[in-house]
Structure 1
């Protein structure tokens, strides 16, 4: 029985979904957080301290969600929120030292996971794979934009 191109496309799509689900689950377990919280923690890891309002703009998460995440992170002892004497209006945020160490360790675990996941591929194959994924991403964006604009193909 010959496999049609439509069947192959569906198999690729389903496989991409399955891999994404597994990768997301592993990534979140490595870092112990949701993607939004990981983005916040990553930004804080890169900056010694940041105003909460600036953090919200940088991670592009709505203000209420950032506040909710930060309150939970503060309660867990991961971050500290404070006001500076010279500016009582702004709330500043920084990582606790132990949390910073744990996040750096989890990044090492994630890096090893990525290396292990892509083991056996040549540099050329990895570059081709990245180009194909870029094309898939561009196609998804194009299709999404055309559907939002009312154009159905």
Structure 2
């Protein structure tokens, strides 16, 4: 594939990413990364900070910053492991559980402009293509 074609495709992805992230945060009140962190905790329960970092593929400084913000907002509770002081466990707060539920309910009721103009089949195809790009490295 021609380098110019590759650069245009990647630039499209970059622009769409910026626009979608802004819209997502405006509609939900959560940055996309923090929302994914909260959903991971909701699905898995209490996890170590390292588990979240590995799942979301972000560096340790970024995970610490995100968790600090989420903790300040009352969305997560962090506790050091008594047996290993370097390990930090993270769990959702009741407020996070309620706010995530309200966010999901608002979306389901159509009170959100966060909808992709893709069919379920197209969304699956896009996911497969993005995974192909990611796994190719």
TM-score by length of 1: 0.60
Name the residue aligned to 1:36. Answer: 33
Q: How far is 1:74 from its partner?
A: 0.9
Q: How far apart in 2 are the matches of 1:66 and 1:100?
A: 20
Q: In structure 1, what is the Cα distance between the partners aligned to 2:60 and 2:14?
A: 30
Question: What root-mean-square deviation, in Å, do the aligned CA atoms of Structure 1 and Structure 2 show?
Answer: 3.6
The number of aligned residues is 125
Q: Secondary structure at the match of 1:82?
A: strand
Structure-2 change in CA distance of 1:30 and 1:85 (3 Å): same
Q: TM-score, normalised by structure 2?
A: 0.66
Moved more, 96-105 or 128-137: 128-137
Deviations 1:74-127 (A, max 9, x none): 111111101344444421101110111101211222344479665xxxxxx835
How many Å apart are 1:34 and its aligned residue? 1.8
Distance 1:107 1:91, change over 3 A: same
SS at match of 2:119: helix
- Give 1:137 shift: 4.6
Match of 1:97 in 2: 94
CA distance in 2, matches of 1:117, 1:97: 30
Contact 2:78 2:88 in 1 (8 A): yes
Show structure 2 runs of 5+ residues with no match.
Answer: 1-7
After superposition, where does 1:4-153 map in structure 2 within 5 Å?
A: 23-111=20-108, 112=110, 113=112, 118=117, 126=119, 129-130=122-123, 133=126, 137=130, 141=133
